[in-house]
């Protein structure tokens, strides 16, 4: 899939792109190799993610950001109409920042929207992405899928509880996170590589991203037990 400028709508309205950073090594997953290539049923983790994004009709295209030495992508996601770039960095923020430059190089504009989505959130549903787009398309800032925190929160020190934290008005950030390409570039330039999600960078500029309620199922496959849970949930969908 190309990201050509001549694919703009007739009314020249901002387009929507998905950017999937997929340059991680999966150090916490216990998997042999990058977790995004671990199989869940008939597809890899990344394959399930791309299958869901392919069903979001308003996306102009999907760009997957891989590490420079990645040679595993093609056989795992054969058949998906996506664009690929091998410009992943050492951190998520670097990979996203590099991917945004590629979008601009391939015809996207600074006022277009980008939906950054974790490769490992493989249970995302197209209707959740559409809900995010509906909520943010007319918003001056943009926003993210998130989940209100229901559990009691504990702060830890040396393996013991140090304090109980108030859970009121706290949300667990998810993805996609949807912002204008230009605004996100400026935010990441200022925030640096330490930020772990795009909303944090936007907040550092003084903006307040919109929270769009999603589902507990939209979790990030991270630890060994997560893969078994993801497989069970996928079977119930089938």
Query: pLDDT category, 11, cuts 50, 70, 90?
Result: low
Average pLDDT of the segment spanning 161-165: 96
Domains in the chain and their CATH numbers? Answer: 12-237 (3.90.550.10)
Instruction: Give the model's pLDDT for residue 60.
Output: 97
Instruction: Give the model's pLDDT for residue 198.
Output: 98
Instruction: Give the model's pLDDT for residue 34.
Output: 85
Instruction: Give the model's pLDDT for residue 4.
Output: 46
Find out whether the peptide bond into 8 is cis, omega within 30 degrees of 0: no
For residue 44, pLDDT beyond 90:
yes
Phi, psi of 65 (to 5 degrees): -100, 115
Query: pLDDT category, 184, cuts 50, 70, 90?
Result: very high
Q: What is the DSSP pairing of strand 160-165 with strand 113-116?
A: unpaired
Distance CA 235, CA 143 (A): 30
Average pLDDT of the segment spanning 25-34: 56
Residue 98 CB neighbour total at 10 angstroms: 18
For residue 6, pLDDT beyond 60:
no
Average pLDDT of the segment spanning 162-183: 96
Cβ proximity of 219 and 226 under 8 Å = yes
Tens digits of residue pLDDT in 141-154: 999 999 999 999 99
DSSP 216: T
CA angle (232 as vertex; 38, 84 as ends), nearest 5: 35
Question: Facing residues of 39 across strands?
Answer: 44
Q: Is 100 in a helix, a strand, or coil?
A: helix
Query: pLDDT category, 7, cuts 50, 70, 90?
Result: very low
Query: pLDDT category, 12, cuts 50, 70, 90?
Result: confident
Distance CA 225, CA 187 (A): 34
Helix then strand then coil, % of the chain, to nearest 5: 30, 25, 45
Instruction: Give the model's pLDDT for residue 8.
Output: 46
Tens digits of residue pLDDT in 205-216: 999 999 999 999
Distance CA 124, CA 52 (A): 7
Cβ proximity of 23 and 96 under 8 Å = no
Tokens 């702060």 belong to which residue? 155
CA angle (151 as vertex; 146, 152 as ends), nearest 5: 125
For residue 29, pLDDT beyond 50:
no
Average pLDDT of the segment spanning 171-181: 98
20 vs 7, residue with greater confidence: 20
Q: Report the Cα 26 to chain-centroid distance in Å.
A: 15
For residue 93, pLDDT beyond 80:
yes
Instruction: Give the model's pLDDT for residue 16.
Output: 98
């Amino acid at each position: 899939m190309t990201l050509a400028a001549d694919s703009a709508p007739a009314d020249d309205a901002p387009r929507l792109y998905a950017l999937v950073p997929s340059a991680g090594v999966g150090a916490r997953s216990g998997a042999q190799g990058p977790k995004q290539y671990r199989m869940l049923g008939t597809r890899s983790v990344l394959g399930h993610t791309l299958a869901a994004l392919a069903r979001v009709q308003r996306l102009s295209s999907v760009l997957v950001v891989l590490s420079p030495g990645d040679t595993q992508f093609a056989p795992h996601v054969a058949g998906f109409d996506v664009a690929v770039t091998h410009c992943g960095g050492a951190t998520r923020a670097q990979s996203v920042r590099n991917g945004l430059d590629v979008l601009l190089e391939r015809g996207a504009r600074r006022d277009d929207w980008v939906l950054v989505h974790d490769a490992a959130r493989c249970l995302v549903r197209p209707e959740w992405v559409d809900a995010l787009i509906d909520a943010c398309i007319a918003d001056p800032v943009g926003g993210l899928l998130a989940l209100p925190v229901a559990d009691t929160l504990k702060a830890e020190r040396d393996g013991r509880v140090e304090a109980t934290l108030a859970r009121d008005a706290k949300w667990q950030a998810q993805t996609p996170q949807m912002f204008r390409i230009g605004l996100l570039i400026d935010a990441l330039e200022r925030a640096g590589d330490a930020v772990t999600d795009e909303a944090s960078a936007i907040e550092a500029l003084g903006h307040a991203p919109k929270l769009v309620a999603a589902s507990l199922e939209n979790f990030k496959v991270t630890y060994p037990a997560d893969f078994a849970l993801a497989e069970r949930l996928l079977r119930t969908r089938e």
